[in-house]
Amino acid sequence: METKNLFASRSLCEISDFTIDERKYLFRQVRTLKKAIHDRDEATMDRFRVKDPDFGIYEVFLEDSTRTKESFRNAADFLQVKVNELNTTVSSLNKGESFADTFHTLTGYHNCIFIIRSKVEGLCRWLKDDCDAYAHRNGLPYRPAFVNAGDGRHEHPTQELLDEFTILEDNGFDYDNLHIALVGDLFHGRTVHSKADGLKLFSHVKVDLIAPDELQMPDNYRIKMEENGFEVRSFDSIESYLAQGEISTMWYFTRPQLERMGEQVLQKADMLRASITFRKEFMDKLKPGTKFYHPLPRHKLHPTIPTFLDNTPLNAWERQSINGMYVRICLLSLIAGQTGFDYVPPKQVAVGEEEDYIVEVDLSKHPVKEKMVSEGVHPIKNGIVIDHICRGDSPSDIRDHMRLISRVLHLDEAKGGEWVSCGHKAGEEHTYKGIIFRPDARELERKDLKRLAAVAPGCTLNIIKDGKVAGKYRLHMPPRIYNFDDLQCSNEACISNPAECEGVPAMFYRTEDNLFECAYCGRTHTFKEIWKNAK
């Protein structure tokens, strides 16, 4: 019986695209390969090699790179496959061609793995589905895979893999506990953003964030870390970190990307750099066995790890960089389907059907009080009443949101009104809710109910006919919101934002804490924030 290779043609757009168990398997491969290369064990090295001059790996770097681009290129050479690079200074992207058309073209030329660095966040996620459809409709005998080599401020998942591998080498491959300090530009650094999910690899994680306010970790990544069960602490400088008792033995530095910041911040550049740059006088405070990591590059004038530390046992960043090629050889070999046949995933918990978030109330079992149709501005004979809108919010927030609901449901032209009602039980605070009345409104279709659930989760829709409630629906928060042309991710750098002009439809997934995460760039929003021109 042929074994299915679960890694073949897989994309890696975010670190969580590979499960923890899959990453552990990858790291076993990397250990084997690294040893084989050091021992010149040709037979073992050969097991990784694809040895197919028609198997195309294509590098598209729309931002500068040395390590990522060159380690992937050398990894592809090692695998003995065809490797190409798009010359982005003379490509038709500069004539206004879309990403979709560019990558369709390259997919058609027998390229199976794309490695892309771009400032556009979520680009690989979008291309994966879009080029899959292209390959299918053109009858191509392969499906292209996409590897994110860094997208804007979002993620750098292959850097995360080599960081994890290097940390594991230093802690004896202990997946149980990790205490790590992240130092530097945590605001812009995509390598530290990948750690919010990446470090779930370890069972117990403590993360110390060391950066002044201007460079601190964005809230969404910090919240994600906390949701993932990490203990998170913040410090505004290395000095203040060293003044307390629990100092990590693993320090992960990043480069301040001050060039991305405004004039006001640049005026404080020296002060910002000083707070995240290691100094000689700090040496005595470090614990024995401490290691420093850095994704590199270091700035030649202002390195956060000064060069006098290069020749000390603190230096783990050079091995980290070298590991980049080993990790990338193994990753490409898996995606090429050369290795990975022996991987057996842990037993999956069955995933249920998509929950039904539109619930029709059985009126024969739950008769409606007649008060419903006569309450409000005017009694309604025929039409709709949307009740329980934004229950618990302030009256002004409810009013604002009812305007958005009317717009999203195209009810703003219809006659009727909105009303904020105040309910109170003895001894309790007032609770407000919104009610929208639309006499003689058109019939709502299933798609309208989906829109209503998305824009007003928790509401109740009453359909009034001949002065009676003829239908009633309770609308809960959908697990996924997509397929509406008035959705928009608030991140201007996201591939789905109209600012990118690619026409990629926005799509959001509900998180555990009832926020909506963009399917491409991962930015989280409340259900009120995912609509075009929302406040």
List active site positions: 67-68, 95, 117, 156
Cα–Cα distance list, 229 to 199, 202, 207, 348 (Å): 10, 11, 11, 22
Q: Which helix (H) or strand (E) holds 428?
A: none
- Closest CB 269 distance from ligand CP, rounded Å: 21
**Looking at beta carbons only, is 289 or 297 nearer to ligand CP?**
297
Write each residue from 127 to 156 as x if it is in contact with ligand CP (CB under 6 A), else as -, in one continuous string: -----------------------x------
Q: Is 296 in the site for ligand CP (CB under 6 A)?
A: yes
**Looking at beta carbons only, is 296 or 454 nearer to ligand CP?**
296
Total chain residues near ligand CP (CB under 6 A):
10
Instruction: Identify the residue among 9, 65, 234, 257 touching ligand CP (CB under 6 A).
Output: 65
**Looking at beta carbons only, is 150 or 303 nearer to ligand CP?**
150
Alpha helices (H) in 383-474, listed in sequence order: 395-408, 446-455
- Which backbone phi and psi does 204 adopt, to 5 degrees? -125, 120
**Looking at beta carbons only, is 67 or 104 nearer to ligand CP?**
67
Read off the tokens for 494: 């996201």
Contact yes or no for 520/234 (Cβ under 8 A): no
CA distance 398 to 402: 6
Q: Is 159 in the site for ligand CP (CB under 6 A)?
A: yes
Contact yes or no for 240/213 (Cβ under 8 A): no
Q: Is 68 in the site for ligand CP (CB under 6 A)?
A: yes
Q: Is 75 in the site for ligand CP (CB under 6 A)?
A: no
Mark the segment that binds ligand CP (CB under 6 A) among 73-81, 291-299, 345-353, 456-464.
291-299
Q: In what order do the strands lie in the sheet with 516-518?
A: 480-482, 507-510, 516-518, 524-525
Mark the segment that binds ligand CP (CB under 6 A) among 1-9, 218-226, 292-300, 302-310.
292-300
Instruction: Identify the residue among 229, 289, 297, 505 touching ligand CP (CB under 6 A).
Output: 297
Mark the segment that binds ligand CP (CB under 6 A) among 65-73, 247-255, 355-363, 406-414.
65-73
Q: Is 12 in the site for ligand CP (CB under 6 A)?
A: no
Q: Is 254 in the site for ligand CP (CB under 6 A)?
A: no
Question: How close are the terminal C-alpha atoms of the chain, in Å?
Answer: 57
- Closest CB 30 distance from ligand CP, rounded Å: 17
Contact yes or no for 237/276 (Cβ under 8 A): yes
CA distance 391 to 434: 7
- Closest CB 128 distance from ligand CP, rounded Å: 21
**Helices 157-170 & 67-79 angle (0-180, nearest 10):** 80
Instruction: Identify the residue among 10, 23, 34, 67 touching ligand CP (CB under 6 A).
Output: 67
- Closest CB 494 distance from ligand CP, rounded Å: 21
Secondary structure (H, E, C), 461-501: EEEEECCEEEEEEEECCCCEEECCCCECCCCCCECCCHHHC
**Helices 317-335 & 67-79 angle (0-180, nearest 10):** 50
**Looking at beta carbons only, is 11 or 68 nearer to ligand CP?**
68
- Closest CB 392 distance from ligand CP, rounded Å: 45
Q: Is 198 in the site for ligand CP (CB under 6 A)?
A: no
Mark the segment that binds ligand CP (CB under 6 A) among 75-83, 135-143, 245-253, 293-301.
293-301
Q: Which residues pair with 480 in a beta bridge?
A: 509
**Looking at beta carbons only, is 68 or 194 nearer to ligand CP?**
68
Cα 407 to its chain centre, rounded Å, is 29
Contact yes or no for 275/282 (Cβ under 8 A): no
- Closest CB 10 distance from ligand CP, rounded Å: 21
CA distance 33 to 36: 5
SS3 breakdown of the chain: % helix, strand, coil, rounded to 5?
35, 20, 45
Q: Is 277 in the site for ligand CP (CB under 6 A)?
A: no
CA distance 102 to 534: 32
Q: E-assigned strands of 211-249?
A: 231-235
Q: Is 193 in the site for ligand CP (CB under 6 A)?
A: no
**Looking at beta carbons only, is 67 or 510 nearer to ligand CP?**
67
Q: Is 66 in the site for ligand CP (CB under 6 A)?
A: yes
**Looking at beta carbons only, is 296 or 515 nearer to ligand CP?**
296
- Closest CB 65 distance from ligand CP, rounded Å: 3
* Contact positions vs ligand CP (CB under 6 A): 65-69, 150, 159, 295-297
